[in-house]
Structure 1
Amino acid sequence: MQALQFAHTGDLAALQLVEVAQPTPSADEVLVQVRAAGLNPSDVKNVLGRFPYTTLPRIPGRDFAGVVVDGPSTLLGTSVWGTGKGLGFNCNGSHAAYLTLPAKGVARLPEQLSFSQAAALGVPYTTAWDALQRCQVAQGTRLLIIGAAGAVGSAAIALGKALGADVLAAVRKPEQVLRLRDSGTPTLLLEQTDQLATQVQAHFPGGADVIFDTTGFWLPAVVPALADFGRIAIIAAPVDGHVHLPALALYRRGGVVVGVNSLLYDTVQCARMLEAFGQFFAQGRLPLPSGLREVPLSEGLSSYAEVNTGSQDKIVFIPNH
């Protein structure tokens, strides 16, 4: 079968398009014919060597959608989607024509989603879902999402609204503000850190119940914008991993900081997440993904390079079978 594979890390030139044997599932696994596979920044970082626990040689890729062609009879012929820790790191991932993984590590694909749409959702949506669930976002929660124009931020907006939260976005570029406001999401323009609390308080008197910082740069500034007993979720940090946290202001508010890391969840745990929010598509509570760029897997090397240089396109690989 055709696959992308790397045998060493540190340079995207290590990634090659290769022909490898089709995998064979074990007794507790399924063989999925991959119909679409998402490309995430973490896949690129993996090839570059940012994850020291990756074993080599390795086929990268975490997100996928496809059809079960071997495994338990209850799943044969079923359209499924999935993501999770391990895929592309210590077992072969989704940037290939076929993929094996635990039978409980796949979720049935909502009929409203195409293969490409489903493959584009895995990492960003499970990351956002984990953040919102662990921060107890529910009907009426005053939710601020910083970095709302990115993939995880956009997922958090959609999921927050589906859960009934009062969503406020915050972005750095005026054109992003206009786009989000046009789509019906109140949005702040991020400028000076010392102005953020005032901006948030003007929209949420008393502060935001939950603040989700997807950028890693605003943690010190968001503490004054937090409501009493509020929660702050973070998924990134400065390059050196350190930040000055105004701990006195945080504990006086009874605040909590929640670290969110999608690589803590294996495919089985992620499948349960996909099932949980996947029902929202059937209920019309989540918008269908749009603006995806489908790329043949055979052209995957250039796509990795694009993402590495900052492309914001949501690229979905389509394997040849």
Structure 2
Amino acid sequence: MRAIVVQSFGARPELADMPEPEPGPGEVQVALDAAGVNPFDLKLADGMLAKTLPTDFPMILGVDGAGKVAKVGDGVTKFAVGDRVVGKFLGRPAGHGSWAQYSTAPADSLVPIPEEITFTAAAALPIAGLTAQDLVDAAGIKPNQTVLIVGATGGVGSFLVQLANIAGAKVIATAREDAADQMARLGADETIDYTIVRGDDPNFNDPDPSLRVDSRVVDAVRFTHPDGIDVLFDLVSGPKAFAEHATLVKRGGHAYSTVWAADDLALREHDITGGNFESKGGPTELARLLARVASGDVVVPIEATVPLEAGPLALGGDGARGKTVFAI
């Protein structure tokens, strides 16, 4: 079968022929139709979990996947051949992921796909959608609270804007100016253009005149919300920028970083809960999210659908606006 693999941690992803996996007891083999692409995938490929998770090489990449059950292992009663399923394809050992024509997973880790949802949309949900849903649940957003989402146009951010809006929040999204309409359609009440160009700021002296940098978010939010905000979801910033954004949060509020940029002690000193966040969402939470998509409450923001064979060339880009999905 065809798959996207790395031969070692840090190696360049490449297309390769790999043996078709067979399901073990309690597992199913899935003929994958679509696989989601997340920043987490390349972090795994670079060895982020090398010390905690054993890995087989060549390492088949990809965590999110959707397709039809092709084979069932001993003891499986939850699914039958032909059932449409979606879930996370990350086990012990790692290296048997979803960027392939076939993969296996424990039957209990997968969820049926409602008929209203395509494989492509389903494959975009597990990591990004669940992270967004778990963040909203953790913050306990109440109606009319003010929520700032830094990095709102990416996969997680696009879901967060919608879910925070559904929870009744007034959503402030950071995005480039040309993405403001997209953010409004997803439910943002305000959009802040976080970028500047050479000449707009006398302190901006980067040698690349086309380079834009994060700026003005704190001043803009403080101007329109002088009493502060209730919740910060920062999906992209490093420690310094996260700390600056966290100064906008009221005492008793919440601030979360999904890229491990938060200083938990500093947040507690300012009576702010949250900190570095890792989604723990599983099949139950994924089924809840799928129901929201099937009912039309949540839109799956697909930016690009790329054939698996072209996948290695599509990886590593910046400035995503929604999800990229591999068509298998």
Report the TM-score when normalising by structure 1. Answer: 0.81
For residues 44 and 16 of structure 1, what CA distance do their matches in structure 2 show? Answer: 15
2: CA distance between counterparts of 1:270 and 1:180?
A: 27
Kindly indicate whether the alpha-carbon contact (under 8 Å) linking 1:216 and 1:236 is maintained by their aligned counterparts in 2.
Answer: yes
For the aligned residue pairs, the C-alpha RMSD in angstroms reads 2.9
**Alignment correspondent of 1:227:** 250
C-alpha spacing 1:219/1:245, structure 2 compared with 1 (3 Å): farther
User: Any conservation in 2 of the 1:62–1:94 contact (CA below 8 Å)?
Assistant: yes
1:258 to 275, 283, 297: 275
* Structure 2 contact 85–110 (Cα < 8 Å) conserved: yes
Partner AA of 2:26 in structure 1:
D
One-letter code of the match for 1:236?
V
- Give the structure 2 partner of residue 312 of structure 1: 320
The percentage of aligned residue pairs carrying the same residue is: 26
Cα shift at 1:181: 4.1
Shift of 1:79: 1.0
Query: How many Å apart are 1:35 and its aligned residue?
Result: 1.0
How many residues were matched structurally?
300
Q: Which residue of 1 aligns with 2:140?
A: 136
User: Relative to structure 2, which stretch is displaced further, 100-109 or 194-203?
Assistant: 194-203
1:275 corresponds in structure 2 to: 287
1:71-110 correspondence runs (5 A): 71=72, 72-76=76-80, 77-83=82-88, 85-86=90-91, 90-110=94-114
Whole-Å separation in 2 of the counterparts to 1:225 and 1:154? 22
Matching residue of 2:311: 300
Cα 1:184–1:106, aligned 2, differ >3 Å: closer, same or farther? closer
Per the TM alignment, residue 74 of structure 1 is displaced from its structure 2 partner at its CA by 3.7
**Structure 2 runs not aligned, ≥5 long:** 197-213
Q: Distance in 1 between matches of 2:286 and 2:263?
A: 35
Normalized per residue, the structure richer in helix is 1
Tell me by how many angstroms 1:202 deviates: 4.6
Q: Which amino acid in 2 is paired with 1:213? A: D
CA contact (8 A) 1:220 1:245 kept: no
* TM-score (ref. length: structure 2): 0.80
* 1:171-210 C-alpha deviation (Å, 9 max, x unpaired): 3x33234543466521123369996455334544532211
- Equivalent residues in 2 for 1:31-180, closer than 5 Å: 31-52=29-50, 53=53, 55-57=55-57, 58-71=59-72, 72-76=76-80, 77-83=82-88, 85-86=90-91, 90-171=94-175, 173-177=176-180, 179-180=182-183
Pick aligned residue for 1:213 from 234, 239, 254: 234
Deviation at 1:105, TM superposition (A): 0.4
Q: Deviations over 1:149-185 (max 9, x none)?
A: 22211121122123332211123x3323454346652
Give the 3 Å change call, closer, same or farther, for CA 56–150 of structure 1 in structure 2: same
Structure 2 CA distance for partners of 1:139 and 1:82, relative to 1, 3 Å: farther
Assess if the C-alpha contact under 8 Å between 2:155 and 2:301 holds in 1.
no
- Structure 2 Cα separation of the partners of residues 154 and 132 of structure 1: 13
Unaligned runs of 5+ in 1: none
For residue 213 of structure 1, report the CA deviation from its aligned partner. Answer: 0.6
Q: CA deviation at 1:146?
A: 0.9
1:145 Cα deviation from its structure 2 partner:
0.5
Deviations 1:30-82 (A, max 9, x none): 22111111122222233333442451312111001111233334411321111
Deviations along 1:93-122, whole A, 9 cap, x unmatched?
A: 101111111111011113322101111222
Tell me the amino acid that sits aligned with residue 206 of structure 1.
Answer: D
**Which whole-Å CA distance do the structure 2 matches of 1:104 and 1:207 have between them?**
43
Larger RCO, structures 1/2 (Cα 8 Å, 6+ apart): 1
Distance in 2 separating the partners of 1:93 and 1:283: 29
Provide the residue aligned with 2:205 in structure 1: none
1:17 touches 1:298 (CA, 8 Å); kept in 2?
no
**2:41 counterpart SS class:** helix
CA contact (8 A) 1:147 1:170 kept: yes
| CA–CA separation in structure 2 for the residues paired with 1:213 and 1:206 | 19
